[in-house]
A and B are shown apart, each in its own frame.
Chain A
Amino acid sequence: MKTWPREYAVSESADSSAVARAVDTLLDVRNLSLVLGGQPVIDGVNLAVAPGEIHALLGANGAGKSSLAYAIMGCEGYAPNTGDILFAGERINEWPMHERARRGITLAWQEPARFEGLAAHHYLALGGVGVDAAHCLDQVGLAPREYLFRPVDKTLSGGERKRIELAAVLAMQPRLAILDEPAAGIDLLSLDEIVGVIEALNRAGAAILLITHQENVAAHAHRASQLCGGRIVDSGPTAEVIEHYKARRCQRCNGRDCGHG
């Protein structure tokens, strides 16, 4: 596995900018803050993801992981109050969501939407011209013969729908895939397949921002960051960040008020 310097993903305590810019950066989140309903949910976050990097984002429920993902993707209601989001060197704060997608960013939701009357092959074909939908389904462990023409609707189980969502991300061949809990709702025996999909995406050239609570999934990341109370409190090699997280050693609040301490 590729190794990455601990300093690359920048914690708020680090002397960040110079380090981050020293390496070619695909996603560069700078001093990002987001207030929702009067509450700060993202608070001065700095985060850099390199091309081809799998970067795990860890944190307790309510830490701000999904909010950060939505802000990066440009979801409605998640426009940052302050700070910058740079993608391949361009500031994208004002770009509409579909423009971000056309430039190579995509998001797989934790609970994917369901669509009446939209067959899986059609849904996957949205990813671009010449998509091999059958191959993408096969890669996520779904038999094309059974699923290619099935509607992406409520007749699918949660796990099946999530796999189709990952297949749709594969079909897009994104430069940056934000995966929000890709393994949630997936049966234990199939976790390896999901990890395989993440690695296949990565081999195809995508950087991945991987939001997960599952250690065995996060362990496949090159590096990791921990969010706590809307702030990045730890960044570095995945094993170290996971170890700190499991030991509940939050560098910011020392486990007192971070929600997991």
Chain B
Amino acid sequence: MAELQPLINAFRLIGEDPTTVLGPDSAHLVAYGHRVISQQSIPGVLMQARSEADVIRARLVVAEGLHIVQPVHLCFGLFARHGTQNVELEVILQPESSVTLWSHCLFTTVEHATHAMTARIEIQEGAALTYQEAHYHGESGDIAVSPRAVVTLGPRARYHADFALVQGRVGRLDIDYTVNVGEQAVAELTSKVYGYGHDVIHIRERINLDGANARGLIKTRVAAREDATAEVIGATCGNAPGARGHVDCLEIVRDRAVVSAIPEVKVTHPLAKVTHEAAIGSVDGQQLETLMARGLDPEQAVDLIIKGMLS
């Protein structure tokens, strides 16, 4: 299929195997701009997507009790020089199901682009979703990315989300996630972003621990150099007995970059507990010297520390 060739090329460029995405055993959705290029359901996984003039609307449903072994792939991107992509995504995991969702957002060749994702994710009782979103950008820096999601976890549900934008210029990133966690459910959000040039990074992640014994972790890792700026807000609210939350922000700042981390912790029930830790600054001196004592020069040492943090 000739239309898939840009995707295949992009995958090869980032070192991924396109056959895993498009194989017959994997549910997937591939969309360029506002055009659906390919979609596939498999037994137990319903993938429905349609193109509209200014948006892709997609719906993914995993049937009750099914544990899907092959990851489901979502491939979004733009392969023209300019463009806009708006995606509205609904994901529903029915009770006691599980799946891994890999979202690849490919913008390696664009010069000027906007990518907006609005997602509603419902993880029903006892279900588990692992969601990995990786962005691959080029060097233009003229790209605006705004992923937004509202996630609801039923009792005993599990949600592990990883967002990574560490290849290419960030451009303008505006993440806004809200996760509502039910009884004995667990939510973990990890964001890793590397900004440089004049990149502007906003990350706002909120976990509401609404159910008894709910658990939540927000983990943010941001490295910024040159003239990049970043603002990171990790908010956790403990609203139920036995709820436990933690916010963990680590940011490395170099050159003229400016980074702020604002952990917001709130408890509305006396038996809930929320903690936070935040560290912002240059690379840790002892880490740096430890690597220099192994023979790395300062630049090599800093690169290794940042790569490790963002890996």
Determine the chain B residues whose CB is within 8 A of the CB of A151 once the complex forms.
Answer: 308
Across the two chains, which residue of chain B brings its CB closest to A171? B294
Cβ–Cβ contact B304 & A118, under 8 A: yes
Given A76-B285, A113-B284, A115-B287, A97:B309 Cβ within 8 A: no
Contacts of A76 in B (CB 8 A): 285, 289
- Picked from B287, B289, B296, B307, the residue with its CB within 8 Å of the CB of A75 is B289
The reply to whether the CB of B305 lies closer than 8 angstroms to some CB of chain A is yes
Across the interface, B293 reaches (CB within 8 A) one of A97, A115, A117, namely: A97
Task: Give bound CA distance, A151 to B311, whole Å.
Answer: 11
* A147 on interface, CB distance cutoff 8 Å: no
A127/B290 in contact, CB under 8 A: no
Kindly state whether residue A48 has any CB partner on chain B within 8 Å.
no
Number of A residues, CB within 8 Å of B:
24
Shortest CB–CB separation between residue A131 and chain B, in angstroms? Answer: 11
At the interface, yes or no: A73 with Cβ under 8 Å from chain B? yes
Assess the B286–A97 pair: CB atoms within 8 A.
no
In the complex, whether B4 has a CB less than 8 A from a CB of chain A is: no
Q: How far is the CA of A98 from the CA of B287 in the complex (A)?
A: 13
Bound CA span A172–B292, Å: 12
Q: A115-B305, A115-B308, A116-B308 are in contact. Are A172 and B285 (CB under 8 A)?
A: no
User: Which one of B286, B297, B298 contacts A109 once the chains associate, using CB atoms below 8 Å?
Assistant: B286
Q: How many A-B contacts if CB must be within 8 Å?
A: 61
User: How far is it, in angstroms, between the C-alpha of A154 and the C-alpha of B119 when the chains are bound?
Assistant: 34
Name the contact of A126 in the complex, choosing from B294, B297, B309, B311 (C-beta under 8 A): B294
The yes or no answer to A168 lying at the interface (CB within 8 A) is yes
Interface string of B270-305 (1 = CB under 8 A from A): 000000000000001111011111111110010011
B150, CB-defined interface residue at 8 Å: no
Residue on A nearest B294 in the bound complex, by CB:
A126
Establish whether residues B308 and A98, one from each chain, have CB atoms under 8 Å apart when the complex forms: no
A21 close to chain B: CB less than 8 A: no
Q: Does B66 contact A (CB under 8 A)?
A: no
Question: For A115, what are the chain B residues with a Cβ–Cβ distance below 8 Å?
Answer: 287, 305, 308
A168 contacts across to B, CB distance below 8 A: 294
Complex Cα gap A117–B219 (Å):
14
**Neighbouring B residues of A73 by C-beta, 8 Å:** 289, 293
CB pair B295–A102 under 8 Å, yes or no, is yes
Interface residues in A194-240 (C-beta closer than 8 Å to B): none
- Confirm or deny: A112 has a beta carbon within 8 angstroms of a beta carbon on chain B: yes
The majority secondary structure among interface residues of chain B is helix
Which residues 106-129 of A sit at the B interface, judged by CB distance below 8 A? 106-107, 109, 112-118, 126-128
Cβ–Cβ contact A126 & B295, under 8 A = yes
Q: Is B58 part of the binding interface, using a Cβ–Cβ cutoff of 8 Å?
A: no
Q: Which residue of B lies closest to A106 (CB)?
A: B293
Does residue A63 face the partner (Cβ distance < 8 Å to B)?
Answer: no
The verdict on B310 contacting chain A, using a C-beta distance below 8 Å, is yes
> Are A98 and B309 within 8 A (Cβ)?
no
CB neighbours of A102 from chain B (8 A): 295
Residues in chain A near residue B308, CB distance under 8 A: 115-118, 151
Question: In the complex, what residue of chain B is closest to A108 when comparing beta carbons?
Answer: B293
Q: Which residues in A have their C-beta under 8 angstroms from that of B291?
A: 126
Q: How far is the CB of B289 from chain A (nearest CB, A)?
A: 6
Bound together, the chains give a CA A115 to CA B304 distance in angstroms of 10
For the complex of A and B, the 10 pairs showing the least CB-CB separation, nearest first, are A117-B308, A117-B311, A101-B295, A118-B308, A97-B292, A126-B294, A113-B286, A113-B287, A113-B290, A98-B292
Given A96-B297, A97-B292, A126-B294, 14 additional A-B pairs, CB 8 A: A73-B293, A76-B289, A97-B293, A98-B292, A98-B296, A98-B298, A101-B293, A101-B294, A101-B295, A113-B290, A116-B221, A116-B311, A126-B296, A151-B308
